[in-house]
């Protein structure tokens, strides 16, 4: 799977807390950081499934497989399926979520076979 670790604090994404969790790799400090600021995995792509390489598939097909995976095996926190849209108005609305800590949107061409993304800053 392809995704990003995030930490929520006070209803917003806080990258600094994730850095603090990652800085404490072992022992009591790591356990305390994980309890205080639990990390969540936001999944936005699947590149291998049941041992099969999905990178030759178009992104639209991989996204459908990912959504099926989440539907067939309900995953809850700390696993989250990243929202996705092909509607430009919805994407523009997401760009206003900076108060929630959103820093960028990622774009993947539906017909692309690679896993490359284009990031667009979430503020104007």
CATH label of the domain that carries residue 80: 3.30.470.30
> Residue 124 has what pLDDT?
35
DSSP annotation of 99: G
Domain range for 110: 2-121
Angle at 114 between CA 118 and CA 78, to 5 degrees: 70
Residue 42 has pLDDT above 80, yes or no: yes
Rounded to the nearest integer, the mean pLDDT of the chain is 78
The count of structural domains within the chain is 1
- For 55, the token pair is 């990178």
Split at pLDDT 50, 70, 90, the class of 122 is very low
Distance between start and end Cα atoms, the chain:
30
Residue, of 101 and 15, whose pLDDT is higher? 15
Residue 61 has pLDDT above 60, yes or no: yes
% of residues, the chain, pLDDT over 90: 15
Whole-prediction pTM value?
A: 0.70
> Residue 115 has what pLDDT?
56
Range with the largest mean pLDDT of 19-28, 63-72, 84-93: 63-72
Contact 4, 105 (CB under 8 A): no
């Amino acid at each position: 799977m392809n995704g990003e670790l995030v930490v929520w604090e006070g209803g917003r994404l806080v990258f600094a807390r994730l850095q603090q969790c990652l800085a404490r790799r072992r022992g009591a400090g790591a356990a305390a950081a994980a309890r205080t600021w639990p990390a969540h995995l936001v999944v936005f792509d699947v590149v291998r499934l049941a041992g099969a390489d999905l990178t030759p598939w178009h992104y639209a097909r991989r996204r459908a497989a990912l959504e099926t995976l989440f539907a067939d095996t309900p995953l809850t926190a700390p696993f989250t399926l990243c929202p996705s849209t092909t509607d430009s108005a919805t994407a523009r609305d997401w760009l206003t979520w900076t108060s929630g800590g959103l820093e960028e949107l990622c774009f993947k061409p539906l017909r692309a076979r690679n896993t490359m993304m284009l990031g667009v800053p979430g503020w104007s």
